Amino acid sequence: MLDVDETKLLIKSAKNGDKQAKEKLIQENAPLIKSLIKRYLNKGIEYDDLYQLGCLGFIKAISNYDESFNTKFSTYCVPMVIGEIKRFMRDDGAIKVSRAIKSQNIKINRYVEEFIKQNFRRPSLEEIAEEFKMDVNDVIFTMDSAKMPVSIYTPLEDDDRKSMYLLDKFAEDQSGEMVNNLVLKDVLRKLSDRDKQIIILRFFRDKTQSEIAKTLGVSQVQVSRLENKIIAKLKEELS
């Protein structure tokens, strides 16, 4: 494996048109590229094509990398390699999402919805992975599958109502979400200005309890206690 200094020198040479430096970088990082494309095997793209896509993303990473990013090149190139594969999946439609993945994605979405209702926050990827006994990378892939184009007349096989289509579900979710938003707004209006500010900062602006404490001029412990009381009150109002 190349050390950091060797990698930087090769990147600089590759940017200046040195093909041998570029080939050397690809050769030395081939194990990394291969490890990244493994998750996309058996998804409709041949291994050699996946590797070529990975190398293309890697070359783009070489061209775009800047030492001022304060990030190791091996770390920087990972999203570039994965992004190239996903772009191909999205634009060329080479991958058809299997029924198993669609079904798992529906189950994950249901779990996320219930988790948010009970905990007033989204579950982390690690929590989802633990719940479904999955690898975090598989969770990411399954959830990303929802972003791939599908017909609005796609049957929701995992739904109890077998004849229901995606179009019906979308309309149902939209109306349900609208009602939930109206109820939530009405409940929030009943809170004091301080409590309302805590909820908005915590759950709508993703501030930490420490950050909120600084804003309000109180301790983090006080914010934690107030947050628990407010959540309990909201649960009571919404139940």
Half-sphere exposure of 166 (CA within 13 A, CB side): 11
Strand segments (E) across the chain? none
pLDDT of residue 185: 62
pLDDT of residue 89: 75
Mean pLDDT of 174-193: 57
pLDDT of residue 134: 87
Residue type, 64: N
**222 near 210, Cβ under 8 Å?**
no
Half-sphere exposure of 80 (CA within 13 A, CB side): 18
Q: What confidence category does residue 152 fall into, taking pLDDT thresholds of 50, 70 and 90?
A: very low
pLDDT of residue 131: 92
**147 near 90, Cβ under 8 Å?**
yes
Q: What confidence category does residue 58 fall into, taking pLDDT thresholds of 50, 70 and 90?
A: very high
Give this prediction's pTM: 0.41
Q: What confidence category does residue 197 fall into, taking pLDDT thresholds of 50, 70 and 90?
A: confident
- CA 138 vs. chain centroid, Å, equals 11
pLDDT of residue 174: 41
Q: With 80 as the cut, is the pLDDT of residue 60 above it?
A: yes
Please report the domains of the chain, with CATH numbers, ordered by start residue: 4-92 (1.20.120.1810), 99-149 (1.10.10.10), 190-238 (1.10.10)
Burial label, 226 (beta-carbon count in 10 A; 0-12, 13-18, 19+): buried
Q: With 70 as the cut, is the pLDDT of residue 227 above it?
A: yes
pLDDT digits (tens, 9 = 90+) for 13-56: 988 888 898 999 999 999 989 998 888 887 777 888 889 889 99
**69 near 80, Cβ under 8 Å?**
no
Residue type, 69: F
Q: What is the 3-state secondary structure (H, E, C) of 116-161?
A: HHHHCCCCCHHHHHHHHCCCHHHHHHHHHHHHCCCCCCCECCCCCC
pLDDT of residue 212: 87
**73 near 7, Cβ under 8 Å?**
yes
The pLDDT mean for the chain works out to: 76
Among residues 44, 154, 38, 40, which one has the least CA distance to residue 95? 44
Residues 6+ apart with CB under 8 A from 97: 145, 148, 150
Which residue's entry shows tokens 């309990």? 232
Q: With 80 as the cut, is the pLDDT of residue 173 above it?
A: no
Q: With 60 as the cut, is the pLDDT of residue 102 above it?
A: yes
pLDDT of residue 217: 86
pLDDT digits (tens, 9 = 90+) for 63-83: 888 877 677 888 888 888 888
Q: What percent of the chain has pLDDT over 90?
A: 5
